[in-house]
């Protein structure tokens, strides 16, 4: 559906995208995950034709970017692009007309998009009377009004409370069920873990790891992770090393990567000479993978 090869973009002498590769398949949710400034929005702006690039290629449905591409793409930007005093239907009508929709086609497109985001009953409400979560859903409805093939959601839940975030997650999953291909950017690891079929981790304009969560999990040489609190970290690291446990620091906490899960009493026995205060177990998740690949790929 979307294929990007060797995409490179400079601002002055700084390469903000460096030989970026991305291949998004029909019907999947692909998550582009990265810290602030990693290059996510730049990538999206290039796909949308809003920004030039210096090298590489971008194809959508097998065709190079052109004027026609805009009909294939629906984009919900990070900041809602809505007219607050107009109603949901009026906002959708405005954007639908930009895509050449009119008359009954426009009306049914408006109803269909509002239905997709479960806001048909608020069709005539002005945007300013809606909650933040609802406004974000209208923002997504705008992106859907011309029935695009690829939906791009730039940080779809940033700034929303937990409840509204869950609603948007449900919406994204239901759009996928209806057959939509979705590219979303996020820096929320639980969001990527919950929604995405495949994840690309972007750092300084490069994809440093990509795959399903299962595949990405293989990047951590561990079945299990333990957090160890001890009065003598140096000694604990030494003890861990003897047993073949690599160590890491996660947010300042000492952790060990266990090649296989071990009973708690065995672990306590290993570390008991280190003035141990506590051991807690963690299963390997996207947080660990993210730290592993972003900290080890300089
Ligand atoms: P965020 O999560 O903060 O939106 P991002 O991953 O979307 O981050 P981008 O906005 O793509 O990151 O920015 C990538 C890099 O390009 C950053 O270092 C940013 O400072 C730089 N950059 C973005 N726009 C410009 C510009 N117009 N001129 C110069 N540098 C820019």
Domain-located, residue 113: yes
Q: Is residue 20 part of a domain?
A: yes
Q: Say if residue 253 is in the same domain as residue 153.
A: no
Range of the domain at 117: 2-214
- Ligand 1 pocket, residues with Cβ under 6 angstroms: 11, 16, 34, 36-42, 187
8 Å CB contact between 208 and 295: no
pTM higher than the cut 0.75: yes
User: Nearest residue CA, atom 19 of ligand 1?
Assistant: 37
**Which pLDDT score, from 0 to 100, does residue 262 have?**
87
CATH assignment of the domain containing 248 = 3.30.70
Residues lower than pLDDT 70 in the chain: 296-298
Structure tokens at 104: 């009954």
Name the domain count of the chain.
Answer: 2
Domain termination residue (choose one: 214, 247, 280): 214
Q: Note the pLDDT of residue 263.
A: 87
- What pLDDT does 272 receive? 81
Q: Do 32 and 66 fall within a single domain?
A: yes
Residue 259 lies in a domain: yes
Question: Which CATH number do you get for residue 80?
Answer: 3.40.50.300
| pLDDT score, position 297 | 45
The confidence score (pLDDT) of residue 296 equals: 61
Largest CA distance in the chain: 78
Whose Cα sits closest to atom 10 in ligand 1?
Answer: 41
Per-residue model confidence as pLDDT tens digits over 133-154: 899 999 999 999 999 999 999 9
Closest CA to 222 of 269, 291, 156: 291
239 and 123 share one domain:
no
Which of 189, 214, 239 is the endpoint of a domain? 214
* Same domain as 107, residue 81: yes
208 in the same domain as 241: no
The answer on 229 and 208 residing in a single domain is no
Q: Ligand 1, atom 2: nearest CA belongs to which residue?
A: 36
Do 257 and 205 lie in a common domain?
A: no
How far is ligand 1, taken at its centre, from the CA of residue 107, in Å?
A: 37
The answer to whether position 127 is within a domain reads yes
Q: Which alpha helices (DSSP H) does 3-131 contain, by range?
A: 40-47, 69-72, 88-98, 103-116
Q: Measured on CA atoms in the order 78, 217, 259, 293, is the torsion positive or negative?
A: negative
Residue in 20, 33, 42, 50 to alter for ligand 1 test, most ligand atoms within 8 A of Cβ: 42
Q: Which of 196, 214, 232 is at the close of a domain?
A: 214
The answer to whether position 219 is within a domain reads: no
**Strands 181-186 and 150-154, sheet pairing:** parallel
What is the distance in A from the centroid of ligand 1 to the CA of 156? Answer: 17
Q: Is residue 170 part of a domain?
A: yes
Q: Whose CA is nearest to atom 15 of ligand 1?
A: 37
- Residues 61 and 87 placed together within one structural domain of the fold: yes
């Amino acid at each position: 559906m979307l294929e990007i090869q060797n995409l490179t973009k400079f601002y002055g002498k700084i390469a903000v995208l460096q030989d970026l590769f991305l291949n998004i398949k029909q019907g999947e949710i692909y998550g582009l995950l990265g810290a602030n400034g990693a290059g996510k929005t730049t990538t999206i702006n290039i796909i949308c034709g809003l920004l030039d690039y210096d090298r590489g290629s971008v194809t959508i449905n097998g065709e190079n970017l052109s004027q026609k591409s805009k009909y294939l793409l629906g984009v919900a930007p990070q900041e809602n692009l809505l007219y607050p005093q107009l109603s949901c239907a009026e906002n959708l009508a405005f954007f639908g007309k930009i895509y050449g929709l009119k008359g009954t086609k426009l009306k049914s497109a408006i109803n269909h998009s509002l239905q997709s985001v479960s806001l048909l009953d608020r069709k005539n409400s002005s945007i300013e009377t809606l909650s933040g979560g609802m406004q974000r859903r209208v923002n997504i409805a705008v992106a859907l009004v011309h029935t695009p093939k690829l939906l791009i959601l730039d940080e779809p839940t940033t700034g929303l409370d937990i409840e509204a975030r869950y609603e948007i997650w449900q919406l994204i999953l239901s759009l996928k069920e209806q057959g939509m291909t979705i590219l979303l950017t996020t820096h929320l690891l639980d969001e990527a873990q919950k929604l995405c079929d495949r994840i690309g981790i972007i750092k300084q304009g490069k994809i440093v790891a990509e795959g399903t969560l299962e595949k990405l999990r293989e990047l951590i040489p561990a079945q299990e992770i333990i957090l160890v609190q001890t009065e003598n970290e140096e000694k604990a690291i030494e003890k861990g090393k003897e047993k073949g446990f690599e160590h890491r620091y996660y947010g300042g906490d000492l952790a060990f990567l266990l090649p296989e899960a071990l009973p708690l009493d065995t672990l306590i026995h290993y570390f008991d000479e280190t003035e141990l205060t506590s051991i807690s177990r963690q299963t390997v998740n996207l947080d660990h993978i993210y730290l592993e690949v972003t900290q080890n790929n300089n």
